[in-house]
Amino acid sequence: MSNAIYGFTGFNAGIGDQVTVSSFPENFFKNYNLKLVDIHKYWIFDYNPYIERDREPNVILNHLQTQLDIINQNKRYNWKSDAEELCYNFNLPKMYLRRPRLYKYEDSITQKDLVIVHTTGKTVGEMPEHVIDQIKKNYDGYDIVQIGLDSDARTPFRKLLNLNKWETAEVISKAAIFIGVNSGFYHIANCYPKVRKKIVLHELNKEKLNSFKPKMQSIGTEWYDYNIEYFNTSEFDIGATNSYNIL
């Protein structure tokens, strides 16, 4: 292994898909004392101290292909984190970092009255209007800022729309609270432990809410992590989720 130069690739998809693999270089380094080569210069590795970009690898670790191989072997489990799954897929003996990490803006000063809201996910669609109204009511007096795109569900909040990925990460890193849906920006928020994260599961019906647990593969909630506060869109608490009334 000492003569190998490992390249990492195979996740050129959405923002969330990319961010969820950002733990792997640190876990790889702390197991083998080797840095990975970022073959395609992914933005998520721009500030990663466990990444190299000026070497040619002679061994390729392909995340997508490895994941497909595991699925085809029917060896997927309900992992406690994406990092744990990655370590298993690539036979890393130990997981040191369980969360995604971008490294940039980790020292941002928290603005205690700053609430960041993201209303629309590519997969799950728009946050319901009555939930947006409740956010406005619950956080009266806060600086509530909507991030995302011009095409997202509209809100009465201050707008910081159409930012690039790193501008978005900086804004989120300064927030006291992030309120959103399942989206790439939720995963960016998950890179900043100081930010309190509240996610609305508007895409799940009552039956799925009753059985909801983070990282469940069977009902399409494998993207959801532990250490997040989860809310439904009804007037009542359901299963492991709270009513949107107390967002």
Residue range 79-83: mean pLDDT, rounded: 89
Say if residue 77 is in the same domain as residue 134.
no
Say if residue 69 is in the same domain as residue 143.
no
Domain that holds residue 65: 6-89
The answer to whether residue 29 is domain-embedded is yes
pLDDT for the residue 81? 92
The answer to whether residue 212 is domain-embedded is yes
The answer to whether residue 97 is domain-embedded is no
Q: What is the pLDDT of residues 20-70, one digit of tens each?
A: 999 999 999 999 999 999 999 999 999 999 999 989 999 999 988 887 777
Say if residue 240 is in the same domain as residue 123.
yes
Say if residue 81 is in the same domain as residue 197.
no
SS3 of residue 173 by DSSP: helix
167: Cβ–Cβ under 8 A, 6 or more apart, which residues? Answer: none
The CA-atom distances, in angstroms, between 219 and each of 186, 199, 208, 215, 216 are: 19, 17, 7, 10, 7
pLDDT for the residue 241? 96
Say if residue 157 is in the same domain as residue 204.
yes
The CA-atom distances, in angstroms, between 61 and each of 15, 23, 36, 66, 90 are: 20, 14, 9, 8, 8
Say if residue 175 is in the same domain as residue 210.
yes
The answer to whether residue 168 is domain-embedded is yes
Beta strand 36-38 with 196-200 is unpaired
The answer to whether residue 190 is domain-embedded is yes
pLDDT surpassing 90 at residue 158: yes
pLDDT for the residue 246? 96
The answer to whether residue 174 is domain-embedded is yes
The answer to whether residue 102 is domain-embedded is no
Of 100, 91, 105, 79, the C-alpha closest to 186 is 100
Please tell me the pTM assigned to this model.
0.93
Q: How far apart are CA 193 and CA 106, in angstroms?
A: 9
Say if residue 151 is in the same domain as residue 223.
yes
53: Cβ–Cβ under 8 A, 6 or more apart, which residues? Answer: 37, 38, 41, 45
Q: Chain centroid to CA 57: how far?
A: 28
The answer to whether residue 103 is domain-embedded is no
Of 150, 209, 204, the C-alpha closest to 181 is 204
Structural domains of the chain, count:
2
